[in-house]
Amino acid sequence: MNNFDFHNPTKILFGKGRIEHLNDHIPVDAKVLIIYGGGSAERTGVLEQVRTALSGRTLVEFGGIEPNPRYATTLNAVKVIVDNNITFLLAVGGGSVIDATKFIAMASLYVGDPWEILTAGTAKVTAAMPFGTVLTLPATGSEMNNGGVITNPEKIAKLPFRSPHCYPIFSVLDPELTYTLPARQIANGAADAFVHIIEQYLTYPSGAHVQDGFAESLLRTIIELGPKALETPEDYDIRASLMWTATLALNGLIGTGVPQDWASHMIGHEITALNDTDHARTLAVVLPSLLNDQRGHKHEKLLQYASNVWGITEGTDAVRIDAAIDATRAFFEQLGIKTRLSDYGIAAAEIELIVSALQEHGMTALGEHKDITPTDVRRILEASL
Amino acid sequence: MNNFDFHNPTKILFGKGRIEHLNDHIPVDAKVLIIYGGGSAERTGVLEQVRTALSGRTLVEFGGIEPNPRYATTLNAVKVIVDNNITFLLAVGGGSVIDATKFIAMASLYVGDPWEILTAGTAKVTAAMPFGTVLTLPATGSEMNNGGVITNPEKIAKLPFRSPHCYPIFSVLDPELTYTLPARQIANGAADAFVHIIEQYLTYPSGAHVQDGFAESLLRTIIELGPKALETPEDYDIRASLMWTATLALNGLIGTGVPQDWASHMIGHEITALNDTDHARTLAVVLPSLLNDQRGHKHEKLLQYASNVWGITEGTDAVRIDAAIDATRAFFEQLGIKTRLSDYGIAAAEIELIVSALQEHGMTALGEHKDITPTDVRRILEASL
């Protein structure tokens, strides 16, 4: 096991009706900006629940955060913060709204051009405005970590950030809020969380029994509950377990002290940039192909994954690894997520665009060994057509 | 799954050589009191490592915290704090030293008689002196939670406390520090962590897939690594995984949103109070007998435990439950821990003393259903002779 620091100060308020007590967790004298995305927050009534819980306070609202939150939009929010002397942010939404809120929290207190935060790193970020979240879509884990991704279409860039100042003060996780989500979003969330876990688990053995055991347990939970969550949308314990799984998939716990991959994410981001395919769906395309391509490097962990996650213990190493990769692909398909580039209208000719974009963004040495080159990516994508 | 709050702000500094960087985690202007136990901290060199890491600072030291830390000793430490204008505490030791440090941290800022903290609850505790820990013995989880136990022999009382002000600021977990621990302490630590997990897991089903999966994973890790840690004391990954397991066994994570038992602990505390038997050994005596006695209430979870922790899937329900309880007892014995009251010199006649002590301390309705009466405890203890 590698040395690690683990520190996650976010307070989780989990369960039914937790929005009602929101007021207790925001400083009495705070001037609050509620940040949300499209119309669903209004339509589902969650925004109204939040307003009711915070009634008596002066609230300012900022809607319109995009699914891949845009840099220009975050700057508009910063202007609202300055104009209204806001002192506390409340994100109401999924990973995109929370990611945007984190960036807004940094940018609103940043001395200098906020674009630096995305391009020069967060070393110069010494503070962020405090913020809480009300999670409406279990998927990204942003509600209990300190990172995010911001898109700048003008620069054709989707840029990640991370800062110790970006942990939410609190996050409200009410599984009942997910009952009305479209099946597509539940499926995407399950797939996203699944691949988050895989990126931190399926590399090479590092003697990390606890992290491996937790990762395998979370993967089995998603495999068991993901399809059930689609079949019976109002089964509380299923939605609750799936929501808590997605949070723990990327709150730092299973990734401490172990090698990490993240190549599927980096490649997937460029597919989304190309034709706006849902993030989770790009992962479901890339991952099975990448696992097959990297079966040499990942040999031991693929066998462990086959056995401990899928119960595959019969046959030669190659047979078991094939079976585990097939099971992974079949699981995504079972969730209603297609796993081929051609399913998303991407043909052989466009692979070069994806590879070039990766190169332009400096992503020329991916994976846990930093040895997946553009040539390797081309081959992985060709195999996923 | 029940509603829950989860908030654990302790920063974990895990791995080899982490003591070297201790200085970075304590405020520059802090006046530090190092709190430790017996001679082993000096003998093993860990105290010297700490002094070296903090060289240049004015340090005050307070040794002599007992294995079951005593109230009077903590008051002596408070006097040292007042006399020396101490502003930061550093616990160097195992669970007893850390528990004592937490109580000292509260008592040193408490307005009123500190005895109230143990008898009237921690509601009046509004602050505690900040403290960090250097863990030398993986067992109790105190390094990443907000509770502890203090003994007052004059009042024949072993009293637990818990306060949101009692999370360590940081805890250093260096697995190499455990290489020189006596086998007895490693075995006790493994058994203690094992039963901590069981107390939060082996109750009745509550739809908490994540918590169950994590608990089962940690149990399997202890079962696999506990004996190996005794055979090969300097295998880093084994010691590291066991250390991290013991921390996660009681940091709140697996206990959120689920029913909890803790009857074995309450009964075990009285056995320790009677004849000073090691805490972990009292648990190894009580647990198998309690599981057998409560097999009705715990029926479903016992079957789940049999299957998911021990791989026992053949036979009738009763056969599988018997096999799981037998395996539990055999595991303790494999660690070198005897599992019968008579092994610790306790005969039938003394059971009444244990039952009476429980009654005196108000422990008359134990377990996840609060329905284990003194009569039940008597029967459980008689079956464990």
Say whether both A230 and A104 belong to one domain.
no
**Tens of pLDDT, residues B100-112:** 999 999 999 999 9
Please state, in angstroms and rounded to a whole number, the distance separating the CA atoms of residues B259 and B1. 9
- pLDDT given at position B153: 83
B249 touches chain A (CB under 8 A): no
pLDDT band at A123 (very low <50, low <70, confident <90, very high): confident
**Does B12 sit within 8 Å of A6, measured CB to CB?**
yes
| Cα A191 → chain centroid | 10
Does residue A273 sit within a domain? yes
DSSP, res B70: B
Mean pLDDT of B65-75: 95
- pLDDT given at position A223: 98
Mean pLDDT of B251-280: 95
Does residue B5 sit within a domain? no
- Chain B residues lying within 8 Å of A11, measured CB to CB: 5-7
**Does B221 sit within 8 Å of A213, measured CB to CB?**
yes
- pLDDT given at position A361: 86
What tokens does A185 get? 């979003």
Which residue in the block uniquely carries the two structure tokens 């990390």? A208
Mean pLDDT of A167-181: 97
Say whether both B130 and B187 belong to one domain.
no
pLDDT band at A384 (very low <50, low <70, confident <90, very high): very high
Question: What CATH number is attached to the domain comprising B256?
Answer: 1.20.1090.10
Please state, in angstroms and rounded to a whole number, the distance separating the CA atoms of residues A170 and A19. 12
Please state, in angstroms and rounded to a whole number, the distance separating the CA atoms of residues B238 and A236. 38
Q: If you count residue pairs, one on A and one on B, with CB atoms under 8 Å apart, how many are there?
A: 126
Q: Hey, is A62 helix, strand or coil?
A: strand
Mean pLDDT of A87-107: 98
Does residue A1 sit within a domain? no
Say whether both A254 and A231 belong to one domain.
yes
A257 touches chain B (CB under 8 A): yes
Say whether both B216 and B136 belong to one domain.
no
Q: What is the sign, positive or negative, of the torsion defined by CA atoms of A247, A249, A250, A252?
A: positive
Q: Hey, is B287 helix, strand or coil?
A: helix
B349 touches chain A (CB under 8 A): no
Task: Work out the number of other CB atoms within 10 angstroms of the CB of residue A48.
Answer: 11
DSSP string, B289-350: HHHHHTTTTTHHHHHHHHHHHH---SS-HHHHHHHHHHHHHHHHHHTT---SGGGGT--HHH
B364 touches chain A (CB under 8 A): no
Say whether both B149 and B195 belong to one domain.
no
CB contact at 8 A, B346 and B365: no
DSSP, res A307: H
Mean pLDDT of A305-309: 98
Closest alpha carbon within chain B to A236: B1
pLDDT mean across residues, chain B: 96
Does residue A314 sit within a domain? yes
Q: Which domain holds residue A73?
A: 11-177
- pLDDT given at position A113: 95
Mean pLDDT of B107-120: 94
Domain boundary, last residue among B153, B177, B201: B177
Closest alpha carbon within chain A to B225: A209
Mean pLDDT of A347-351: 96
C-alpha distance from residue B323 to each of A313, B7, B154, B187, B352 (Å): 25, 37, 43, 22, 30
Half-sphere CA count of B367, side-chain side, radius 13 A: 24
Mean pLDDT of A292-320: 98
- pLDDT given at position A120: 87
Say whether both A49 and A100 belong to one domain.
yes
**Tens of pLDDT, residues B131-179:** 999 999 999 999 999 999 999 888 777 889 999 999 999 999 999 999 9
Query: How many separate domains does chain A show?
Result: 2
Please state, in angstroms and rounded to a whole number, the distance separating the CA atoms of residues A150 and B109. 45
Q: Hey, is B366 helix, strand or coil?
A: strand
- pLDDT given at position A90: 98
A292 touches chain B (CB under 8 A): no
- pLDDT given at position B156: 72
Complex ipTM more than 0.90, yes or no: yes
- pLDDT given at position A112: 93
Residue B329 has pLDDT above 80, yes or no: yes
Closest alpha carbon within chain B to A247: B210
- pLDDT given at position B157: 77
Please state, in angstroms and rounded to a whole number, the distance separating the CA atoms of residues B186 and B222. 11
Say whether both A235 and A274 belong to one domain.
yes
Does residue A337 sit within a domain? yes
| Cα A150 → chain centroid | 12
Please state, in angstroms and rounded to a whole number, the distance separating the CA atoms of residues B280 and B94. 14
Say whether both A322 and A207 belong to one domain.
yes
pLDDT band at B121 (very low <50, low <70, confident <90, very high): confident
DSSP, res B232: S
Say whether both B141 and B189 belong to one domain.
no
Does residue A4 sit within a domain? no
- Smallest Cα distance from A4 to chain B, Å: 5
pLDDT band at A137 (very low <50, low <70, confident <90, very high): very high
Please state, in angstroms and rounded to a whole number, the distance separating the CA atoms of residues A60 and A75. 16
Say whether both B67 and B126 belong to one domain.
yes
Q: Could you give the strand order of the β-sheet that contains B170-173, starting from the edge strand earlier in sequence?
A: A59-62, A32-36, A88-93, A131-135, A170-173, A4-14, B4-14, B170-173, B131-135, B88-93, B32-36, B59-62
DSSP string, B100-166: HHHHHHHHTT-SS-THHHHHT-STT------EEEEE-S-SS-GGGSSEEEEEEGGGTEEEEEE-GGG
Looking at residue B244, its amino acid is W
**Tens of pLDDT, residues A249-276:** 999 999 999 999 999 999 999 999 888 8
Domain boundary, last residue among B177, B210, B232: B177
Q: Which of A17, A210, A241 sits opposite B207 (nearest CB)?
A: A241
C-alpha distance from residue B379 to each of B56, B252, B271, B351, B359 (Å): 59, 31, 15, 9, 15
- Smallest Cα distance from A187 to chain B, Å: 18
- Chain B residues lying within 8 Å of A217, measured CB to CB: 210, 213-214, 216-217
Say whether both B146 and B159 belong to one domain.
yes
- Smallest Cα distance from A19 to chain B, Å: 12
Q: Which residue has the higher pLDDT, B256 or A155?
A: B256
**Does B12 sit within 8 Å of A5, measured CB to CB?**
yes
B316 touches chain A (CB under 8 A): no
Residue A78 has pLDDT above 90, yes or no: yes
Please state, in angstroms and rounded to a whole number, the distance separating the CA atoms of residues B376 and B290. 9
B55 touches chain A (CB under 8 A): no
Q: Which of B14, B16, B213 sits opposite A220 (nearest CB)?
A: B213
CB contact at 8 A, A381 and A351: yes
pLDDT band at B248 (very low <50, low <70, confident <90, very high): very high
DSSP, res A2: -
**Does B3 sit within 8 Å of A210, measured CB to CB?**
no
Q: Which residues 6+ apart lie within 8 Å of A85 measured at CB?
A: A31
Q: Which of A13, A207, A217 sits opposite B5 (nearest CB)?
A: A13
CB contact at 8 A, B346 and B274: yes
- Chain A residues lying within 8 Å of B4, measured CB to CB: 12, 14-15
A215 touches chain B (CB under 8 A): no
Does residue B126 sit within a domain? yes
- Chain A residues lying within 8 Å of B8, measured CB to CB: 8
Does residue B1 sit within a domain? no
Residue A167 has pLDDT above 80, yes or no: yes
What tokens does A261 get? 């991959």
- Chain B residues lying within 8 Å of A16, measured CB to CB: 3
Say whether both B139 and B226 belong to one domain.
no
- Chain A residues lying within 8 Å of B5, measured CB to CB: 11-14
**Tens of pLDDT, residues B10-46:** 999 999 999 999 999 999 999 999 999 988 999 999 9
H or E, element range at B172: strand B170-173
Question: What CATH number is attached to the domain comprising A40?
Answer: 3.40.50.1970
Domain boundary, last residue among B177, B193, B226: B177
- pLDDT given at position A273: 86
Residue A248 has pLDDT above 80, yes or no: yes
